[in-house]
Amino acid sequence: MKRVDGEQLKKVFASLPKNPRVLVSGNFGTPKELLALFDSVVPEYTLHMLNAQPGIPDRPGVRYETAFVGLGMRGSERLNYIPSRLSLLPVMLRDELAPDVVLLHTSEPRFDTVSLGIEVNILPAAIESAREHGGLVVAQANANMPYTYGDAQVYENEIDFLFTHEEPLNVHTPAPISDIAHNIGSKIAELVPSGSTLQLGIGSVPDAVVERMTNRKELRIWTEMFSDGVLNLEKVGALDTEIPITASFIFGSNELYTWLHMNRRVRMLRTEKTNDPSLIAKQAKMTSINAALQVDLLDQANASRVRDKIYSGFGGSTDFIVGALHSRGGKSFMTLPSWHAKTNTSKIVPMITEGVTSFQHSYVVTEQGIATCFGHSESEQAQNLINFAAHPDAKPALRAAASKMGL
């Protein structure tokens, strides 16, 4: 590993082959200064990031590539969406999408390592692929990045250049939880006993569930990501202190980042581990909580497309749904409001036309109620969805559609 300044890095980046693929720490772990240096001297390149946030380079010559679309790439005409379960994306990075450059956002060096901090995810696989294919690995060391353990630790000999630059980390301020989300969250919480293992997706419903779990005991966390809700569970003693908190990326408040620093309670693992359905299935009472845009009468969910355009992607929901269903005592919850206020339409539909993200869930939960799906015939699933999850205004049309569909 060679320590360099910005001007030295510019010379390194300027000598790269034409049109490189650069993979950058995504979510809230983007190394802003390092990416800006790269963008300033490389006229054309493919930018691969997961859940990219606003503020990334956006100009002709920069082509976006991702398996999970964030606000920074959503709606771009230069976006190339890669359909993939998150657990399988490292395989693509190894075999089909090998990066020419990997830009990391790390902690300051500690002994002979740095830490990937709040964003591990696909980065270990990207580092391995780049080194195997003759690519370049560059790290921006930041005093504000917490030092986390597990697969977050990267040895100096895995990094070509280290650039030191201090910048504040992005923080996540959750939106106020709506009455509908509170309603859904309370319904789910009633079905999650002490001793369960939680996977928490992104959004107000998982936040609402966590709010209602503070009176539980010996909860465990095995999830691809978490935010301040897990810290709150730790504060009130709801978590099993003998079991490490396992995740692959994190975003939240500065208080959360401070708590993470040098905290051996938290084990950051690479995506191939956190999202491996066989490892998820081994967790006690694995409980998967995810959100959908639509669910149809066959218990198929669309969580990734809006008006035939990609909105997000599969993410980790598919991995955790399967893992939870295989876990002894496990449950998979798919959540959504029953009604779309802007379009004045039902979110429970006869048949999804946008593209199916997942299917076969334990429960579909709306503010109207809980529809039990797993273990029922397709006719019983449809009846439960109409009777317990659908909005009252949608039920007559859904019953008519179910009849035509032979349900």
Q: How many CB atoms lie within 10 A of CB 244?
A: 18
Mean pLDDT of 266-280: 98
* Strand-pair partners of 24: 103
Do residues 80 and 67 touch, judged by C-beta distance below 8 A? no
In 3-state terms the chain splits into helix, strand, coil percentages (rounded to 5) of 30, 25, 45
What is residue 198's three-state secondary structure?
A: strand
| Structural class in CATH, domain 2-164 | alpha beta
Q: Is the dihedral of CA 69, 73, 76, 78 positive or negative?
A: negative
Average model confidence (pLDDT) for the chain? 96
Q: Is 224 a catalytic residue?
A: yes
Q: Which of 128, 158, 224, 367 is catalytic?
A: 224
Domain ranges of the chain: 2-164, 179-224+275-404
Q: Are strands 294-296 and 300-302 parallel, antiparallel or unpaired?
A: antiparallel
Q: How many CB atoms lie within 10 A of CB 111?
A: 8
Mean pLDDT of 373-388: 98
**Tens digit of each residue's pLDDT (9 = 90 or more) over 236-247:** 999 999 999 999
- The pLDDT, as a whole number, for residue 279 is 98
Q: Is the pLDDT of residue 296 over 90?
A: yes
What is residue 49's three-state secondary structure?
A: coil
Q: Is the pLDDT of residue 72 over 90?
A: yes
Q: Is the pLDDT of residue 174 over 90?
A: no
- The pLDDT, as a whole number, for residue 341 is 87
Q: Is the pLDDT of residue 121 over 80?
A: yes
* Strand-pair partners of 340: 345
**Tens digit of each residue's pLDDT (9 = 90 or more) over 207-224:** 899 999 999 999 999 999
Mean pLDDT of 64-73: 97
Per-residue b/e over 334-365, b at no fewer than 16 CB within 10 Å?
A: bbbbbbeeeeeebbbbbebebebbbbbbbbbb
- The pLDDT, as a whole number, for residue 358 is 93
> pLDDT exceeding 70 applies to what percent of the chain?
100
Do residues 374 and 381 touch, judged by C-beta distance below 8 A? no
Mean pLDDT of 140-162: 98
- The pLDDT, as a whole number, for residue 38 is 98
The yes-or-no answer to whether 2-164 and 179-224+275-404 have a common fold is yes
**Tens digit of each residue's pLDDT (9 = 90 or more) over 180-209:** 999 999 999 999 999 999 998 677 888 899
206 against 249, higher pLDDT: 249
**Tens digit of each residue's pLDDT (9 = 90 or more) over 22-61:** 999 999 999 999 999 999 999 999 999 999 999 999 999 9
Q: Is the pLDDT of residue 308 over 90?
A: no
- The pLDDT, as a whole number, for residue 206 is 86
Tell the CATH topology of 179-224+275-404.
Glutaconate Coenzyme A-transferase (3.40.1080)
Q: Is the dihedral of CA 204, 209, 212, 218 positive or negative?
A: negative
Q: How far apart are CA 251 and CA 316, in angstroms?
A: 16
- The pLDDT, as a whole number, for residue 253 is 94
Q: How far apart are CA 68 and CA 287, in angstroms?
A: 22
Q: How far apart are CA 146 and CA 159, in angstroms?
A: 19
- The pLDDT, as a whole number, for residue 216 is 96
